[in-house]
């Protein structure tokens, strides 16, 4: 279902670039001679990895547990003439194989939810150099009183989902300073993620019309898209841009 989609979560290059500008870590703005070291956690097929390598001019480690995604990242990196600056690492975000203070920038689009927002922020902080930046996108409640159907769906699908304000408070509590945050545009759910996924769901529903187990799975995937279509004003993916605070 998910093989060879351009993205594995909501996002778009413009939003990645906007969040990156907020960190101040851009090509040519180097604070040291060594160049920028970037870690992209839960990189998936690597749409944002390419932007990070291109716009920082640095070295990017693209990490995921799913090796087939990493093969796509390597292919995309070669296609963008960035293979010498993008290295893939097959590992889990829960046991990152890097020394403390290895990175100037840690990035994670739509993946910190795997560990949970607060556990992820706490676990990754030691890997950042002094004043390093952490940027994550996280599904967050935007409405104070979301519709019951939206609440019921996400309580089952992502019980740890918090409000934007609660996530801001978590950031400060975990040893970071929030630089800024912004909500991903609604189009970024659809153009490169739900639209191709929905076409895949349609095709597979037809092909597996006599397979009840497959149909249940496909209907569950479609439900998320419907919930976003109907109630997408009540929640959103928020890009949080933060810096490691002094201890
Ligand atoms: C929602 S996708 C986002 C992918 C990509 N950042 C994007 O926006 O297209 C979440 C990613 O996290 C990866 N993932 C899941 N569990 C993981 C783990 N324990 N460690 C590292 N990556 C993991 C998945 O394989 C998937 O690529």
In the structure, what pLDDT confidence band is assigned to residue 225 with cuts at 50, 70 and 90? very high
pTM, rounded to two decimals: 0.96
- b (16+ CB within 10 A) / e for 60-94: bbbbbeeeebbebbeebbeebebeebbebbeeebe
Q: What is residue 44's DSSP assignment? A: T
CB of 198 within 8 A of CB of 225? Answer: yes
> What is d(CA 155, CA 211) in angstroms, rounded to the nearest whole number?
28
Report the SS3 class of residue 142.
coil
In the structure, what pLDDT confidence band is assigned to residue 48 with cuts at 50, 70 and 90? very high
Does any ligand 1 atom lie closer than 6 A to the CB of residue 9? Answer: yes
Positive or negative: CA dihedral 100, 101, 104, 105: positive
Q: How far is CA 135 from CA 62, 121, 164, 200, in A?
A: 14, 10, 15, 30
Length of the chain in terms of residues written: 247
The mean per-residue pLDDT over the stretch 43-62 comes to 96
State the closest ligand 1 atom to the C-alpha of 69, by its place in the atom list counted from 1.
27
> What is d(CA 86, CA 77) in angstroms, rounded to the nearest whole number?
7
Task: Pick the closest to residue 140 from 101, 181, 107, 93 (CA basis).
Answer: 181
State the closest ligand 1 atom to the C-alpha of 111, by its place in the atom list counted from 1.
10
In the structure, what pLDDT confidence band is assigned to residue 86 with cuts at 50, 70 and 90? very high
C-alpha 158 – ligand 1 centre gap (Å): 15
Q: What's the chain's average pLDDT?
A: 95
Sequence-distant (6+) residues with CB within 8 A of 98 are 39, 61, 127
Does any ligand 1 atom lie closer than 6 A to the CB of residue 46? Answer: no
Does any ligand 1 atom lie closer than 6 A to the CB of residue 64? Answer: yes
Q: Which two tokens stand for residue 40?
A: 């992209």
> Could you tell me what percent of the chain has a pLDDT over 70?
97
Report the SS3 class of residue 243.
strand
Q: Which two tokens stand for residue 71?
A: 């093969």
pLDDT at 247: 80
User: In terms of C-beta density within 10 A (0-12 exposed, 13-18 middle, 19 or more buried), how is residue 246 classed?
Assistant: exposed
pLDDT at 29: 57
Report the SS3 class of residue 235.
strand
> What is d(CA 78, CA 83) in angstroms, rounded to the nearest whole number?
5
pLDDT at 33: 53
> What is d(CA 93, CA 237) in angstroms, rounded to the nearest whole number?
20
Sequence-distant (6+) residues with CB within 8 A of 95 are none
Angle between helices 47-56 and 67-79 (to 10 degrees): 40
Angle at 172 between CA 13 and CA 234, to 5 degrees: 55
CB of 128 within 8 A of CB of 244? Answer: yes
Does any ligand 1 atom lie closer than 6 A to the CB of residue 139? Answer: no
């Amino acid at each position: 279902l998910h093989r060879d989609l351009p993205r594995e979560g909501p996002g778009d290059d413009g939003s990645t670039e906007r969040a990156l500008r907020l960190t101040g870590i851009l090509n040519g703005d180097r604070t040291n001679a060594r160049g920028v070291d970037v870690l992209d956690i839960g990189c998936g097929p690597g749409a944002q990895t390419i932007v990070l390598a291109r716009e920082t001019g640095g070295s990017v480690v693209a990490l995921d547990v799913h090796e087939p995604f990493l093969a796509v990242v390597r292919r995309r990196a070669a296609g963008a003439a960035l293979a010498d600056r993008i290295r893939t690492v097959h590992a889990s975000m829960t046991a990152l194989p890097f020394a403390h203070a290895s990175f100037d920038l840690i990035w994670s689009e739509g993946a910190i939810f795997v560990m949970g927002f607060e556990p992820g922020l706490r676990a990754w902080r030691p890997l950042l150099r002094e004043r390093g930046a952490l940027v994550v996108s996280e599904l967050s409640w935007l409405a104070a009183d979301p519709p019951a159907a939206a609440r019921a769906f996400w309580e089952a699908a992502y019980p740890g989902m918090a409000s934007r304000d609660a996530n801001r408070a978590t950031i400060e509590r975990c040893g970071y300073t929030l630089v800024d945050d912004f909500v991903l545009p609604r189009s970024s759910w659809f153009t490169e993620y739900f639209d191709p996924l929905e076409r895949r769901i349609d095709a597979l529903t037809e092909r597996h019309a006599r397979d009840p187990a497959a149909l249940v799975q496909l209907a569950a995937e479609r439900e998320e898209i419907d919930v976003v279509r109907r109630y997408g004003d009540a929640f959103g993916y928020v890009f949080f841009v933060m810096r490691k605070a002094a201890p």
